[in-house]
């Protein structure tokens, strides 16, 4: 990782030129003005962009000045979302289990906009149930979850680097999960797949840095997405390992002294904006956990 940091320091400076005033430097580099477009001029591909975190990220990317290719298998929904986002959004069909389709989404971004700066590998599935009964574990389903959740992270890095390396700039952001940090027994297969995503990001950080590129992960906690709202009742019904607290979060407000928080997709999207922006130019191989500290405090005794 030290070698990766050296390589990134050797790349060109990504922020504006220095000025004579330290105050100006602070304003230029760290301003949080609401109308600041942190991704101005950048081109992004987002997989799983028709709903949930992917859709919210597309909205935030465009709000911050990017042009976005929305890649998904939900064609009607994807076209509708792209139309609602305006001329800076384009939808394309992409099944991430097929490497050629992911490569085609990357090539579409380059052919339409001339280059690619960001690839957000976000598509994912929860998998079949139960996952916490080892004697009934469906290994075919395990393979399917890994094919959708884990393998595309490596494919995304491969094809992003293919078109970004000649320019020596660009980044990949992979959606992992806090379940990949602290496994959720009710979602054992899903937890394994997201742990693999984090491992891919860490392993590929140095090879990406050799080309002036970056790769990072964002790990959401429980987030109010269509997938979670659909899957949580099923998990709770069949798995004794499902946390009653997380189930309650779907329908109820959280007490101020509770560690668990139900996040919104926009919370994760804003983290992705940071990782994709030049503000994170020296952030590489990092897993940004966005779960209000739940994974840190999980299992701690209550006072």
Write the CB contacts of 230 (distance below 8 Å, at least 6 apart in sequence).
none
Q: What is the pLDDT of residue 269?
A: 98
Query: What phi and psi values does residue 64 have, to the nearest 5 degrees?
Result: -95, 15
pLDDT of residue 240: 59
Integer Cα distance of 5 and 214 in angstroms: 10
Does the global pTM surpass 0.85? Answer: no
Q: Does pLDDT of 27 surpass 90? A: no
For the question of residue 190 being annotated catalytic, the response is: yes
- pLDDT category, 20, cuts 50, 70, 90? very low
8 A C-beta contact, residue 124 and residue 149: yes
| Predicted local confidence at residue 119, as pLDDT | 98
Question: Residue 7 falls within a domain, yes or no?
Answer: no
Q: Distance between CA atoms of 98 and 258, rounded to whole angstroms?
A: 42
Residue 68 domain-assigned (yes or no) = yes
Domain assignment of residue 15, yes or no = no
194 given a catalytic annotation: yes
Say if 38 falls within a structural domain: no
- What band does 246 get if pLDDT is binned at 50, 70 and 90? low
Mean pLDDT score of the chain, rounded to an integer?
Answer: 85
DSSP 15: S
Of 190, 191, 193, 295, the catalytic one is 190
pLDDT mean over 25-37: 48
- Position 261 confidence tier, pLDDT thresholds 50, 70, 90: confident
For the segment 129-158, what is each residue's pLDDT rounded down to a tens digit?
889 889 999 999 999 999 999 999 999 999
Q: What tokens appear for 156 in the block?
A: 């995304």
Q: Which of 29-43, 59-73, 116-130, 145-159 has the lowest mean pLDDT?
A: 29-43
296: left (phi over 0), alpha (psi -120 to 50) or beta: alpha
Lookup result for tokens 């996952």: 131
The C-alpha atoms of residue 179 and residue 23 are separated, in whole angstroms, by: 41
Average pLDDT over residues 182-205: 96
Catalytic residue from among 177, 219, 239, 277:
177
**Assigned domain for 13 exists:** no
Q: How many domains does the chain have?
A: 1
In a domain, 231, yes or no: no
DSSP letters spanning the chain: -HHHHHHHHTSPP-SPPP-S-HHHHHHHHH---TT--TTTT-EEEEETTTSHHHHHHHHHHHHTT-EEEEEES-HHHHHHHHHHH-TTEEEEE--TTSHHHHHHHHHHHHHHHS---EEEE-------S--S-GGG--HHHHHHHHHHHTHHHHHHHHHHHHHHGGGT--EEEEE--GGGTS--GGGHHHHHHHHHHHHHHHHHHHHHHTTT-EEEEEEE-SB--HHHHHHHHHHHHH-TTS-HHHHHHHHSPPPTT-S---B-HHHHHHHHHHHHSGGGTT--S-EEEESTTHHHHTTPPP-
Residues spanned by the domain of 139: 43-223+260-290
The question of whether 91 is a catalytic residue gets the answer no
CATH number of the domain where residue 199 is located = 3.40.50.720
Residue 125: φ, ψ to 5° = -135, 160
Tell whether 138 is covered by a domain.
yes
For residue 194, is it within any domain? yes
Residue 186 clears pLDDT 90, i.e. is over it: no
Catalytic residue among 194, 219, 239, 277: 194
Q: Give the position of tokens 């979670």.
A: 228
């Amino acid at each position: 990782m030290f070698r990766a940091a050296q390589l990134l320091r050797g790349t060109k400076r990504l922020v504006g030129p220095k000025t004579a005033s330290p105050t100006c430097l602070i304003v230029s580099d760290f301003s949080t003005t609401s109308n600041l477009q942190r991704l101005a001029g950048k081109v992004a591909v987002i997989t799983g962009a028709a709903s949930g975190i992917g859709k919210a990220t597309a909205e935030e990317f465009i709000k911050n000045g990017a042009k976005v290719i929305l890649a998904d298998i939900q064609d009607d929904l994807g076209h509708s979302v792209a139309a609602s986002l305006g001329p800076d959004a384009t939808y394309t069909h992409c099944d991430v289990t097929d490497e050629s389709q992911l490569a085609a989404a990357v090539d579409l971004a380059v052919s339409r906009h001339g280059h690619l700066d960001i690839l957000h590998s976000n598509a994912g599935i929860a998998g079949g149930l139960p996952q916490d009964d080892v004697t009934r574990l469906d290994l075919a389903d395990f393979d399917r979850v890994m094919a959708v959740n884990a393998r595309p992270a490596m494919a995304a890095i491969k094809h992003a680097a293919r078109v970004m390396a000649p320019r020596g700039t660009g980044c990949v952001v992979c959606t992992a999960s806090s379940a990949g940090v602290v496994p959720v027994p009710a979602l054992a297969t899903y937890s394994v797949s997201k742990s693999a995503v984090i491992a891919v990001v860490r392993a590929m950080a140095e090879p990406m840095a050799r080309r002036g590129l970056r790769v990072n992960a964002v790990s959401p906690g429980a987030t109010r997405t269509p997938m979670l709202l659909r899957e949580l009742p099923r998990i709770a019904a069949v798995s004794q390992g499902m946390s009653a607290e997380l189930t309650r979060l779907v329908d109820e407000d959280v007490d101020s002294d509770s560690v668990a928080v139900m996040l919104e997709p926009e919370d994760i999207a804003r983290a992705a904006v940071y990782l994709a922006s030049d503000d994170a130019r020296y952030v590489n191989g990092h897993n940004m956990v966005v779960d209000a500290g739940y994974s840190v405090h999980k299992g701690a005794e209550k006072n």
